[in-house]
């Protein structure tokens, strides 16, 4: 039986209590005993209708998904596969093939949001972080509990538009799209050495389609040339400005955790590593 069609009284409230999210309990799709519903910060734009789908239902990970995460390779690629396996519906879409296509098109911020949902569903809302105070003479371990249900999502600026044209102050016209799951998979597939040396250009290539009407080719035979073109075409100021544009436009999750060392009074912050293997077994970073 399709878990999404289970009657309300068969919903396992123990699982839902773990999520601590009232909205999930009230999901009209009546999620099954090990499924929850949620809402994506950005959503999927159906190319056939132009509609944006943000409501989703996802089931808990099973042994098969655990094996995917235990394998070698980049976490983001594994997680996208896990989401494809576990996603039961996205808006009105329930067909597995269509769901897989939609997941690959989803903004990375939505992949993060579903990763967070799966983490909460499997292991609950409480996450203990135990960083060491970075002050050299201190080094005391600080313990801080994060409630994953409290993380705030920032939606995409315009959910209908994943493709954007921005004219920079320099007059450069940049055509780009929000970072999607398929772009993240492409980045994860590049050689580590290349990724390290050209991190910023590769992050740009994950999004930018053309500069002043000149297309960029990110296939392996054109990658080196595209990186050279980006180095030539975009000044330091252009890059800073573009970075601000994408931060303001794309959906995001507030992952900043602030720590306060009781021993020396130092205050500092860390970004919660949501797209990281340890996020599913994390007790300290």
Residues that bind Zn ion (CB under 5 A): 133, 135, 138, 261, 263-264, 266
Give the nearer residue to Zn ion in terms of CB position, either 114 or 133: 133
Give the nearer residue to Zn ion in terms of CB position, either 25 or 266: 266
Identify whether the C-beta of residue 151 lies closer than 8 Å to the C-beta of residue 45. no
Identify whether the C-beta of residue 170 lies closer than 8 Å to the C-beta of residue 238. yes
In the complex, the smallest distance separating the C-beta of residue 261 from Zn ion, rounded to whole angstroms, is: 3
DSSP state of 180: B
In the complex, the smallest distance separating the C-beta of residue 254 from Zn ion, rounded to whole angstroms, is: 24
Give the nearer residue to Zn ion in terms of CB position, either 173 or 267: 267
In the complex, the smallest distance separating the C-beta of residue 136 from Zn ion, rounded to whole angstroms, is: 10
- Looking up tokens 């003479």 gives 137
In the complex, the smallest distance separating the C-beta of residue 255 from Zn ion, rounded to whole angstroms, is: 22
Give the nearer residue to Zn ion in terms of CB position, either 132 or 161: 132
In the complex, the smallest distance separating the C-beta of residue 258 from Zn ion, rounded to whole angstroms, is: 14
Give the nearer residue to Zn ion in terms of CB position, either 160 or 263: 263
What is the distance between the alpha carbons of residues 153 and 155, in angstroms, rounded to a whole number? 6
- Checking phi first, is residue 73 left (phi over 0); if not, alpha (psi -120 to 50) or beta? left
Residues paired with residue 253 on neighbouring β-strands, in sequence order: 153
**Nearest C-alpha neighbor of 159 from the set 206, 216, 98, 91:** 91
Give the nearer residue to Zn ion in terms of CB position, either 142 or 245: 142
In the complex, the smallest distance separating the C-beta of residue 262 from Zn ion, rounded to whole angstroms, is: 8
In the complex, the smallest distance separating the C-beta of residue 270 from Zn ion, rounded to whole angstroms, is: 14
Would you tell me the crossing angle of helices 108-123 and 181-189 to the nearest 10 degrees?
90
Sheet strands (E) in the chain: 35-45, 52-59, 87-90, 126-129, 144-147, 153-154, 163-167, 173-177, 208-211, 214-215, 252-253, 256-260, 267-271
Which two three-digit tokens encode residue 169? 């102050």
Give the nearer residue to Zn ion in terms of CB position, either 160 or 264: 264
Strands 267-271 and 153-154: unpaired
């Amino acid at each position: 039986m399709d878990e999404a069609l289970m009657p309300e009284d068969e919903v396992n409230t123990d699982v839902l209590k773990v999520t601590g999210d009232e909205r999930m309990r009230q999901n009209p799709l009546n999620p099954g005993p090990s499924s929850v519903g949620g809402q994506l910060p950005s959503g999927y734009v159906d190319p056939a209708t132009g509609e944006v789908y943000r409501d989703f239902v996802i089931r808990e990970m099973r042994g098969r998904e655990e094996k995917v995460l235990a394998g070698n390779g980049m976490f983001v690629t594994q997680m996208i596969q896990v989401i494809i396996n576990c996603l039961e519906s996205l808006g009105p879409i329930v067909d597995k093939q269509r769901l897989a296509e939609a997941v690959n098109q989803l903004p990375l911020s939505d992949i993060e949001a579903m990763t967070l949902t799966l983490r909460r569903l499997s292991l609950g809302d409480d996450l203990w972080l135990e960083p060491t105070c970075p002050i050299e003479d201190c080094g005391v371990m600080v313990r801080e509990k994060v409630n994953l249900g409290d993380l705030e999502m920032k939606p995409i600026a315009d959910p209908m538009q994943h493709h954007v044209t921005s004219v920079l102050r320099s007059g450069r016209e940049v055509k780009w799209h929000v970072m999607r799951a398929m772009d993240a998979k492409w980045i994860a597939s590049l050689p580590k050495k290349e990724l390290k040396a050209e991190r910023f250009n590769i992050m740009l290539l994950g999004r930018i389609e053309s500069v002043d009407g000149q297309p960029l080719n990110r296939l392996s035979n054109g990658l080196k040339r595209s990186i050279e073109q980006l180095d030539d075409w975009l000044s330091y100021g252009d890059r800073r400005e573009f970075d601000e544009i994408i931060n303001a436009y794309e959906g995001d999750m507030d992952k900043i955790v602030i720590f306060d060392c009781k021993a020396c009074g130092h205050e500092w912050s860390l970004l919660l590593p949501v797209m990281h293997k340890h996020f599913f077994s994390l007790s300290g970073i």
